[in-house]
Amino acid sequence: MKKVFARPESLKLTPFHYCPGCGHSIIHRLVSEVIDELGIRERTVGVPPAGCAVLAYNYFDVDMAEAPHGRAAAVATGIKRVRPDLVAFSYQGDGDIAAIGTAETIHAANRGERITAIFVNNAVYGMTGGQMAPTTISGQVTTTTPLGRAPLRDGYPLDLSEMLGIAAGSVYIERTSVSSPKWINKTKKAIRKAFMVQLEDRGFSLVEILSPCPTNWKMTPVQSIRWVEETMMTIFPPKVIKDVA
Protein backbone atom coordinates (compact mmCIF):
# COMPACT_ATOMS: atom_id res chain seq x y z
CA MET A 1 0.00 0.00 0.00
CA LYS A 2 1.14 3.48 -0.79
CA LYS A 3 1.27 6.22 1.81
CA VAL A 4 -1.14 8.94 0.71
CA PHE A 5 -1.18 11.16 3.76
CA ALA A 6 1.72 11.92 6.06
CA ARG A 7 3.21 14.74 8.09
CA PRO A 8 4.59 17.51 5.86
CA GLU A 9 8.37 18.04 5.83
CA SER A 10 8.15 21.59 7.13
CA LEU A 11 6.45 20.39 10.30
CA LYS A 12 8.80 18.99 12.93
CA LEU A 13 7.97 15.75 14.69
CA THR A 14 7.36 17.55 17.98
CA PRO A 15 4.12 16.73 19.80
CA PHE A 16 1.91 19.84 19.87
CA HIS A 17 1.32 21.48 23.24
CA TYR A 18 -2.16 22.60 22.15
CA CYS A 19 -5.28 21.31 23.89
CA PRO A 20 -7.17 18.34 22.40
CA GLY A 21 -9.29 19.56 19.49
CA CYS A 22 -7.47 22.88 19.04
CA GLY A 23 -7.50 24.36 15.54
CA HIS A 24 -3.98 25.80 15.73
CA SER A 25 -2.22 22.55 14.91
CA ILE A 26 -4.48 21.93 11.87
CA ILE A 27 -3.49 25.38 10.59
CA HIS A 28 0.19 24.69 11.33
CA ARG A 29 -0.09 21.60 9.16
CA LEU A 30 -1.81 23.45 6.32
CA VAL A 31 0.81 26.21 6.28
CA SER A 32 3.59 23.58 6.30
CA GLU A 33 1.97 21.69 3.44
CA VAL A 34 1.71 24.87 1.37
CA ILE A 35 5.36 25.73 2.11
CA ASP A 36 6.36 22.23 0.99
CA GLU A 37 4.28 22.37 -2.17
CA LEU A 38 5.60 25.77 -3.20
CA GLY A 39 9.15 24.65 -2.43
CA ILE A 40 9.93 27.78 -0.41
CA ARG A 41 11.04 26.12 2.81
CA GLU A 42 14.61 27.41 2.62
CA ARG A 43 13.55 31.04 2.16
CA THR A 44 10.50 31.34 4.39
CA VAL A 45 10.51 33.29 7.65
CA GLY A 46 7.55 33.05 9.99
CA VAL A 47 6.61 35.51 12.72
CA PRO A 48 4.62 33.90 15.55
CA PRO A 49 2.40 35.96 17.90
CA ALA A 50 2.00 36.27 21.61
CA GLY A 51 -0.72 33.79 22.49
CA CYS A 52 -1.12 30.04 22.37
CA ALA A 53 0.87 29.88 19.11
CA VAL A 54 3.86 31.69 20.66
CA LEU A 55 5.75 28.39 20.58
CA ALA A 56 5.10 27.89 16.85
CA TYR A 57 8.87 27.95 16.26
CA ASN A 58 9.00 24.55 17.96
CA TYR A 59 6.82 23.11 15.21
CA PHE A 60 7.63 24.84 11.92
CA ASP A 61 10.86 23.69 10.34
CA VAL A 62 11.48 27.13 8.82
CA ASP A 63 13.18 30.23 10.22
CA MET A 64 11.07 32.06 12.76
CA ALA A 65 11.44 35.47 14.43
CA GLU A 66 9.35 36.19 17.49
CA ALA A 67 7.52 39.53 17.57
CA PRO A 68 6.34 41.63 20.52
CA HIS A 69 2.63 41.26 21.23
CA GLY A 70 0.66 42.31 18.15
CA ARG A 71 3.66 43.57 16.18
CA ALA A 72 4.08 40.57 13.88
CA ALA A 73 3.02 42.62 10.84
CA ALA A 74 5.69 45.21 11.62
CA VAL A 75 8.40 42.57 12.15
CA ALA A 76 7.40 40.75 8.96
CA THR A 77 7.50 44.10 7.11
CA GLY A 78 11.07 44.63 8.29
CA ILE A 79 12.13 41.15 7.23
CA LYS A 80 10.54 41.53 3.81
CA ARG A 81 11.96 45.00 3.18
CA VAL A 82 15.50 44.03 4.10
CA ARG A 83 15.39 40.72 2.23
CA PRO A 84 12.75 40.93 -0.53
CA ASP A 85 13.81 37.48 -1.74
CA LEU A 86 12.44 35.90 1.44
CA VAL A 87 8.85 34.86 2.02
CA ALA A 88 7.57 36.44 5.24
CA PHE A 89 4.39 35.32 6.92
CA SER A 90 2.89 36.28 10.24
CA TYR A 91 0.86 33.84 12.28
CA GLN A 92 -1.43 35.65 14.68
CA GLY A 93 -4.41 35.02 16.89
CA ASP A 94 -7.37 37.35 17.27
CA GLY A 95 -6.14 38.76 20.58
CA ASP A 96 -2.88 39.60 18.84
CA ILE A 97 -3.89 40.89 15.41
CA ALA A 98 -7.33 42.37 16.23
CA ALA A 99 -6.62 43.94 19.62
CA ILE A 100 -3.11 45.12 20.45
CA GLY A 101 -1.88 44.77 16.86
CA THR A 102 -4.72 46.51 15.01
CA ALA A 103 -2.68 49.61 14.14
CA GLU A 104 0.32 47.70 12.78
CA THR A 105 -1.88 45.37 10.78
CA ILE A 106 -4.02 48.09 9.19
CA HIS A 107 -0.99 50.16 8.23
CA ALA A 108 0.89 47.15 6.86
CA ALA A 109 -2.17 46.31 4.74
CA ASN A 110 -2.61 49.91 3.64
CA ARG A 111 1.03 50.21 2.62
CA GLY A 112 0.56 47.03 0.62
CA GLU A 113 3.44 45.22 2.27
CA ARG A 114 4.30 41.98 0.47
CA ILE A 115 3.60 39.81 3.47
CA THR A 116 1.09 37.07 4.23
CA ALA A 117 -0.85 37.09 7.48
CA ILE A 118 -2.48 33.98 8.92
CA PHE A 119 -5.18 35.21 11.31
CA VAL A 120 -6.55 32.54 13.64
CA ASN A 121 -9.88 33.71 15.04
CA ASN A 122 -11.20 31.76 18.03
CA ALA A 123 -13.26 34.61 19.55
CA VAL A 124 -11.44 34.49 22.88
CA TYR A 125 -8.07 35.16 24.52
CA GLY A 126 -6.91 31.57 24.69
CA MET A 127 -3.54 31.51 26.43
CA THR A 128 -4.44 33.83 29.31
CA GLY A 129 -7.49 31.84 30.29
CA GLY A 130 -10.45 32.76 28.13
CA GLN A 131 -11.05 36.50 28.57
CA MET A 132 -13.20 38.50 26.16
CA ALA A 133 -11.43 39.42 22.93
CA PRO A 134 -12.51 42.07 20.39
CA THR A 135 -13.81 39.22 18.23
CA THR A 136 -15.92 37.66 21.01
CA ILE A 137 -19.45 37.47 19.66
CA SER A 138 -22.42 39.14 21.38
CA GLY A 139 -23.78 37.01 24.18
CA GLN A 140 -20.73 34.75 24.38
CA VAL A 141 -19.72 33.79 27.90
CA THR A 142 -16.07 34.36 28.78
CA THR A 143 -14.27 34.73 32.10
CA THR A 144 -14.56 38.54 31.89
CA THR A 145 -18.15 38.48 30.58
CA PRO A 146 -19.69 35.78 32.79
CA LEU A 147 -23.22 36.80 31.78
CA GLY A 148 -22.36 37.02 28.09
CA ARG A 149 -20.92 39.88 26.06
CA ALA A 150 -23.39 42.78 26.17
CA PRO A 151 -22.76 45.06 23.15
CA LEU A 152 -23.88 48.26 24.92
CA ARG A 153 -21.37 47.68 27.69
CA ASP A 154 -18.62 45.65 25.99
CA GLY A 155 -18.89 46.77 22.38
CA TYR A 156 -19.57 44.78 19.26
CA PRO A 157 -17.44 42.01 17.72
CA LEU A 158 -14.72 43.48 15.52
CA ASP A 159 -14.56 42.36 11.91
CA LEU A 160 -10.92 43.03 11.16
CA SER A 161 -10.87 41.28 7.80
CA GLU A 162 -13.60 43.56 6.42
CA MET A 163 -11.62 46.56 7.68
CA LEU A 164 -8.51 45.33 5.91
CA GLY A 165 -10.56 44.77 2.77
CA ILE A 166 -11.10 48.56 2.62
CA ALA A 167 -7.35 49.23 2.82
CA ALA A 168 -6.07 50.11 -0.63
CA GLY A 169 -2.90 48.02 -0.40
CA SER A 170 -4.52 44.71 0.47
CA VAL A 171 -4.83 42.30 -2.43
CA TYR A 172 -6.31 39.10 -1.10
CA ILE A 173 -8.41 38.68 2.06
CA GLU A 174 -10.42 35.53 2.69
CA ARG A 175 -12.20 34.12 5.72
CA THR A 176 -12.42 30.33 6.09
CA SER A 177 -12.67 27.77 8.88
CA VAL A 178 -11.17 24.49 10.09
CA SER A 179 -14.41 23.02 11.37
CA SER A 180 -14.71 20.15 8.87
CA PRO A 181 -12.56 18.44 6.21
CA LYS A 182 -14.39 20.43 3.53
CA TRP A 183 -13.48 23.74 5.16
CA ILE A 184 -9.95 22.56 5.91
CA ASN A 185 -9.37 21.89 2.20
CA LYS A 186 -10.77 25.34 1.37
CA THR A 187 -8.51 26.88 3.98
CA LYS A 188 -5.49 25.22 2.43
CA LYS A 189 -6.39 26.63 -0.98
CA ALA A 190 -6.79 30.09 0.56
CA ILE A 191 -3.41 29.87 2.31
CA ARG A 192 -1.80 28.72 -0.92
CA LYS A 193 -3.32 31.65 -2.80
CA ALA A 194 -2.21 34.10 -0.09
CA PHE A 195 1.37 32.87 -0.42
CA MET A 196 1.13 33.09 -4.21
CA VAL A 197 0.06 36.75 -3.94
CA GLN A 198 3.24 37.40 -2.02
CA LEU A 199 5.42 35.38 -4.40
CA GLU A 200 3.97 37.37 -7.31
CA ASP A 201 4.84 40.58 -5.41
CA ARG A 202 1.32 42.00 -5.56
CA GLY A 203 0.67 43.19 -2.02
CA PHE A 204 -0.76 42.31 1.35
CA SER A 205 -2.64 39.04 1.77
CA LEU A 206 -4.47 37.66 4.79
CA VAL A 207 -6.41 34.50 5.55
CA GLU A 208 -8.72 34.62 8.56
CA ILE A 209 -9.45 31.15 9.90
CA LEU A 210 -12.28 30.44 12.33
CA SER A 211 -10.79 27.97 14.77
CA PRO A 212 -12.27 26.07 17.73
CA CYS A 213 -11.06 26.61 21.30
CA PRO A 214 -12.77 23.79 23.24
CA THR A 215 -11.00 24.53 26.53
CA ASN A 216 -12.01 28.18 26.86
CA TRP A 217 -15.41 27.72 25.30
CA LYS A 218 -16.00 24.97 27.91
CA MET A 219 -17.06 22.50 25.24
CA THR A 220 -15.99 19.12 23.95
CA PRO A 221 -13.99 19.20 20.70
CA VAL A 222 -17.00 17.92 18.75
CA GLN A 223 -19.32 20.54 20.30
CA SER A 224 -16.79 23.27 19.55
CA ILE A 225 -16.55 22.57 15.81
CA ARG A 226 -20.36 22.61 15.72
CA TRP A 227 -20.39 25.93 17.53
CA VAL A 228 -18.03 27.34 14.88
CA GLU A 229 -20.38 26.27 12.11
CA GLU A 230 -23.68 27.12 13.78
CA THR A 231 -22.89 30.27 15.74
CA MET A 232 -19.58 31.81 14.77
CA MET A 233 -20.18 31.56 11.03
CA THR A 234 -23.34 33.66 11.34
CA ILE A 235 -21.31 36.57 12.77
CA PHE A 236 -18.17 35.96 10.70
CA PRO A 237 -19.45 34.46 7.43
CA PRO A 238 -16.68 32.64 5.52
CA LYS A 239 -16.14 34.28 2.13
CA VAL A 240 -13.60 35.94 -0.12
CA ILE A 241 -13.62 39.47 1.24
CA LYS A 242 -11.23 40.97 -1.28
CA ASP A 243 -9.51 39.50 -4.30
CA VAL A 244 -7.92 41.82 -6.81
CA ALA A 245 -5.27 39.28 -7.73
Partner 1 sequence: MKGKIEIDQELCKGCGLCIQVCPKKQIEFSDALNKKGYYPASFKERDRKTTEKLECTGCALCAIQCPDVAIEVYREEKEQSTTAKKAAPTDE
CB nearer to partner 1: pick between 146 and 181: 181
**Which of 185, 51, 167 minimizes the C-alpha distance to 111?**
167
Query: Is 75 within 8 Å of 67 (Cβ atoms)?
Result: yes
Gap between the Cα atoms of 111 and 150, Å rounded: 35
Beta strands per DSSP E along 7-86: 44-47, 63-64
Decide: is 20 part of the binding site for partner 1 (CB under 8 A).
yes
Decide: is 39 part of the binding site for partner 1 (CB under 8 A).
no
For residues 145-204, which are near partner 1 according to CB under 8 A? 180-181, 184-185, 188
Nearest-Å Rg of the Cα atoms of the chain is 17
**Which of 170, 175, 69, 171 minimizes the C-alpha distance to 121?**
175
In the complex, least distance from residue 8 CB atom to partner 1, rounded to whole angstroms: 8
Decide: is 58 part of the binding site for partner 1 (CB under 8 A).
no
In sequence order, the β-bridge partners of residue 88 are 45
Q: Which amino acid is at 215?
A: T
Half-sphere exposure of 1 (CA within 13 A, CB side): 3
In the complex, least distance from residue 37 CB atom to partner 1, rounded to whole angstroms: 7
Decide: is 57 part of the binding site for partner 1 (CB under 8 A).
no
Per DSSP, the three-state class of 134 is coil
In the complex, least distance from residue 31 CB atom to partner 1, rounded to whole angstroms: 12
CB nearer to partner 1: pick between 40 and 76: 40
Decide: is 21 part of the binding site for partner 1 (CB under 8 A).
yes
In the complex, least distance from residue 24 CB atom to partner 1, rounded to whole angstroms: 8
Using CB under 8 A, pick the residue from 95, 126, 214, 238 that binds partner 1.
214
In the complex, least distance from residue 128 CB atom to partner 1, rounded to whole angstroms: 21
In the complex, least distance from residue 52 CB atom to partner 1, rounded to whole angstroms: 12
Query: Is 182 within 8 Å of 244 (Cβ atoms)?
Result: no
In the complex, least distance from residue 187 CB atom to partner 1, rounded to whole angstroms: 10
Decide: is 37 part of the binding site for partner 1 (CB under 8 A).
yes
Decide: is 6 part of the binding site for partner 1 (CB under 8 A).
yes
**Which of 51, 13, 8, 52 minimizes the C-alpha distance to 30?**
8
Decide: is 26 part of the binding site for partner 1 (CB under 8 A).
yes
**Which of 206, 205, 208, 210 minimizes the C-alpha distance to 234?**
210
Q: What are the residues binding partner 1 (CB under 8 A)?
A: 1-7, 11, 15-16, 18-26, 29-30, 33, 37, 180-181, 184-185, 188, 214, 220-222, 225
